[in-house]
């Protein structure tokens, strides 16, 4: 009974993953189509693809450096946890030790990336304002942007160091900024890169363009704060619903530990507990996805 249940859960997980990949493949942002039209006729850069590209991209976006530098240590630690899981809990311990560390690492990296990206977006209007003042003083657009990067604060300054390095290697500022925007996958950064590319190719008033971008970013930030305040009750309710089963199980373990242990030692009870754990994970993932849409 247990093996078919685990197989069903794995199939559902793979089905959800395939649906997500299909959705992302069908959805192409409008800004990407505009960038493709603007880049027609220009030489394309060669992108080196490795098996660790996605992992390195996630770590770079989170500001954690390159994971391949310590990949041996992480794999050794993961193997040690798997051995401890086998010795402590059999195949259940092996399953938990194999799945929990990558899941926790993914959650931590994503949390670190979202926190860092939020801080970067907050620092973007002052950087653009510094660029506008430099442009009005007579500097070129490239010098104004690079000067604003030097005057910025971390984490935005550290992230935009990628743009400075690419410019020093001979890549144009619009292309370097587009590469930076695609790395961090944020609409505000894409609009900044798109504005630089349009100004570089067709000319125009760069000061007015950046001022409008500053206004747009601040309006979006204000709207996001208002939405967060309006949906606060919903988010608290979701957290309570996710934490209540875990808290209830912890209360049972403290007040009457033999209750759950007796279920675990029984075949049908063990199946029920594993099914409850699976449904709890699915419910937490569903609530998390719902909160992300708010």
Determine the pLDDT at residue 12: 65
Residues 199 and 229 in one domain: no
Is the CB of residue 198 less than 8 Å from the CB of residue 212? Answer: no
Determine the pLDDT at residue 122: 86
Determine the pLDDT at residue 231: 76
Residues 248 and 270 in one domain: yes
> ∠ CA 156-161-164 to the nearest 5 degrees?
130
| Helical (H) or strand (E) element with 99 | helix 71-136
**10-residue stretch averages of pLDDT, the chain, 294 residues long:** 55 63 60 53 42 72 71 72 72 72 82 88 87 85 85 85 85 86 85 84 80 86 80 80 84 80 79 83 80 66
Residues 163 and 211 in one domain: yes
Residues 144 and 177 in one domain: yes
Determine the pLDDT at residue 8: 64
Q: How far is CA 5 from CA 199, 270, 280, in A?
A: 58, 12, 15
Determine the pLDDT at residue 43: 39
Question: What are the two backbone dihedrals, phi and then psi, of residue 161, each rounded to the nearest 5 degrees?
Answer: -60, -25
Whether residue 26 is contained in a domain is answered as no
Domain enclosing residue 211, as ranges: 116-217
Whether residue 244 is contained in a domain is answered as yes
Whether residue 106 is contained in a domain is answered as no
Determine the pLDDT at residue 34: 54
Of the residues 217, 243, 275, which one is the last residue of a structural domain? 217
Whether residue 178 is contained in a domain is answered as yes
Whether residue 103 is contained in a domain is answered as no
Of the residues 156, 190, 217, which one is the last residue of a structural domain? 217
> Which positions ≥6 away from 132 have C-beta within 8 Å?
144, 207, 210, 211, 214
Residues 154 and 212 in one domain: yes
Residues 137 and 190 in one domain: yes
CA dihedral 173, 27, 187, 212 (to 10 degrees): 90
Whether residue 89 is contained in a domain is answered as no
Residues 212 and 269 in one domain: no
Residues 135 and 213 in one domain: yes
Determine the pLDDT at residue 69: 61
Determine the pLDDT at residue 22: 63
Q: What is the pTM (predicted TM-score) of this model?
A: 0.61
Whether residue 289 is contained in a domain is answered as yes
Determine the pLDDT at residue 280: 83
Q: How far is CA 150 from CA 48, 111, 135, 161, 221, in A?
A: 29, 27, 15, 9, 24
CA distance 133 to 79: 55
Residues 266 and 181 in one domain: no
Whether residue 155 is contained in a domain is answered as yes
Of the residues 217, 244, 259, which one is the last residue of a structural domain? 217
Residues 180 and 232 in one domain: no
- Kindly provide the b/e burial profile for residues 122-140, where b requires at least 16 CB atoms within 10 angstroms of the residue's own CB: ebbbebbebbbebbeeeee
Is the CB of residue 234 less than 8 Å from the CB of residue 292? Answer: no
Number of domains in the chain: 2
Residues 123 and 207 in one domain: yes
| Helical (H) or strand (E) element with 112 | helix 71-136
State the CATH number of the domain containing residue 159: 1.20.81
Residues 207 and 237 in one domain: no
């Amino acid at each position: 009974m247990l093996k078919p249940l685990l197989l069903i859960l794995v199939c559902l997980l793979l089905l959800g993953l395939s649906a997500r990949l299909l959705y992302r493949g069908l959805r192409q942002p409008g800004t990407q189509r505009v960038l493709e039209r603007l880049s027609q006729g220009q030489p394309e850069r060669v992108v080196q693809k490795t098996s660790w590209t996605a992992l390195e991209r996630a770590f770079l976006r989170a500001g954690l450096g390159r994971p391949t530098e310590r990949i041996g240590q992480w794999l050794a630690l993961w193997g040690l946890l798997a051995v401890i899981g086998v010795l402590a809990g059999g195949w259940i311990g092996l399953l938990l030790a194999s799945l929990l560390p990558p899941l926790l690492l993914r959650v931590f990296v994503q949390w670190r990336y979202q926190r860092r990206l939020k801080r970067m977006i907050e620092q973007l209007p002052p950087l653009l304002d510094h660029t506008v003042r430099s442009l009005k003083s007579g500097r070129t657009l490239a010098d104004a942007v690079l000067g604003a990067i030097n005057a910025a604060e971390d984490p935005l300054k550290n992230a935009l160091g990628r743009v400075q390095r690419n410019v020093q290697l001979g890549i144009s500022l619009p292309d370097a900024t587009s590469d930076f925007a695609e790395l961090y996958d944020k609409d505000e950064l894409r609009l900044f890169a798109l504005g630089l590319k349009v100004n570089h190719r067709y000319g125009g008033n760069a000061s007015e363009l950046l001022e409008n971008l500053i206004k747009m970013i601040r309006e979006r930030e204000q709207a996001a704060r208002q939405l967060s305040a309006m949906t606060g009750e919903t988010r608290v309710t979701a957290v309570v619903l996710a934490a209540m089963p875990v808290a209830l199980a912890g209360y049972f373990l403290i007040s009457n530990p033999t209750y759950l242990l007796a279920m675990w030692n029984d075949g049908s009870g063990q199946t029920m507990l594993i099914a409850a754990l699976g449904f709890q994970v699915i419910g937490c993932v569903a609530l998390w996805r719902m909160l992300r849409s708010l």
